[in-house]
Amino acid sequence: MEKQETEDIQALINIFFPFAEELIIKFGEFYPYAGATTIEGEFVSVGFHEENKHLSPDKVLLSLKNSLKPGSEKYIVAAIFYDIKTKDADTGESQDAIAVFIEHMTGKKAYEFFYPYKLEREENLVVGDSYGAAIPKEIFIL
């Protein structure tokens, strides 16, 4: 990953990640949401319009990816944040995680990062070390 790509990705995560934390503390979970950095350097929320407001999180995730594609020429970086269950690599036990699917317009790959978390007591959210992998691009496809 190039230095500018890394900086742009980290900046977008830093702006939108606290919203996931806030929702988890308030509701114990959250529905997928998206954000992007415009070519002008502005951070914007990106949504989609659906008549059915009771879609499954998987369908919302797909709809968000589809809503980002047509406007991809306006963005430098696009990300989708969603709440999932993963397995702890050491114990194999199920754990909650904030997942971030993120792509940079100049990058060769997209990335998926996972931030395991535990909600201890009512307002104490403990977020563990992140891990992730490079995956095929889905938004900034040439």
Residue 34 lies in a domain: yes
Let me know if residue 61 belongs to a domain.
yes
CA distances, 52 to each of 23, 31, 55, 67, 117 (Å): 22, 14, 6, 16, 30
Query: To which residue do tokens 């307002």 refer?
Result: 123
* 3 Cβ contact list (under 8 Å, min separation 6): none
**Which residues on neighbouring strands pair with residue 36, listed in sequence order?**
44, 78
pLDDT at 91: 85
Residue 141 lies in a domain: no
pLDDT of 48: 59
Q: Is 140 within a domain?
A: no
**Number of folded domains that form the chain:** 1
What does the pLDDT read at residue 52?
A: 44
d(CA 30, CA 21): 9
Domain that holds residue 81: 3-135
Inside any domain, residue 29: yes
- In tens digits, the chain (142 residues) has pLDDT values of 789 999 999 999 999 999 999 999 999 988 899 999 999 999 999 875 555 466 777 888 888 888 888 878 899 999 999 999 998 878 889 999 999 999 999 999 999 999 999 988 777 899 999 999 999 999 998 6
Count of CB atoms situated within 10 Å of the CB of 6: 12
